[in-house]
Amino acid sequence: MAYLESAIVVYLRLLYYSNGFFFPIKMIPMPVAVIEIGREAATLIMLWFVAQMSFKPFKEKFALFIFTFGVWDIFYYAWLKIFINWPKGMFDWDILFLIPVPWIAPWLVPVLFSMGLIFAAVLILYYPQRFGTKILKKKEWLGEIICAALILLTFIWQSRFIVEGGIPIYYQWWLFIIAMSGGLIIFLRHFFQAKNNA
């Protein structure tokens, strides 16, 4: 999956960024943009159905989904490095996603987020007894959703500016670190509380 995803991006960059990927972004024709958005949605659906094929409870299916998502995202950048030697630096900016608006951030950000997903998935799969059928309690899920929304906010913070021809300069690292840390704290608090109550 990561190979296929990166291969398509290589083709798109050859077509629209023949001299190398850089900002300001070039607006692709609307028909191509619609196809690209559909491809991104199809990728998520495929990853979800891979997890659903396992004969396991919901919590383990969800863990498999976030695990495969994390691995896919990390290896997407690994393949880009192999194919076109990109990214070149730790903080190179990238267009992460297009649904519903362009997500813009240094490539390192989604990789760190994916590492967090893999970490959580491994704990759920290795210690399923510490998690309920819905993995977390309602208040904990609410906290995780808020943290995820804050991370998403850092991705779309500059979307309009970038679409209008701007060049990204500053990423909201402080907000990402707070949200990422908050999500991990909520998850690990549940994990260790379950251990103490066992």
- Give 173: exposed, middle or buried? Use CB within 10 Å, 0-12, 13-18, 19+: middle
pTM assigned to the model: 0.90
Q: Taken in order 35, 36, 41, 47, is the CA torsion positive or negative? A: positive
167 by DSSP, 3-state: which?
A: coil
Q: Taken in order 50, 53, 56, 62, is the CA torsion positive or negative? A: positive
Q: What domain range includes position 71?
A: 2-197
At position 38, the amino acid (one-letter code) is: G
What's the pLDDT tens digit per position in 18-53?
Answer: 878 888 888 888 888 888 889 888 888 888 888 888
What's the pLDDT tens digit per position in 112-169?
Answer: 999 999 999 999 999 999 998 899 999 999 999 999 999 999 999 999 899 888 999 8
Q: CA distances (Å), 87 to each of 23, 25, 153, in order?
A: 14, 16, 23
- β-bridge partners, 97: 103
User: Once rounded to an integer, what is the mean pLDDT over residues 95-122?
Assistant: 94
CB count within 10 Å of CB 22 equals 11
Asked if residue 172 has pLDDT above 90, the reply is yes
Asked if residue 198 has pLDDT above 60, the reply is no
As for how many domains the chain has, the answer is 1
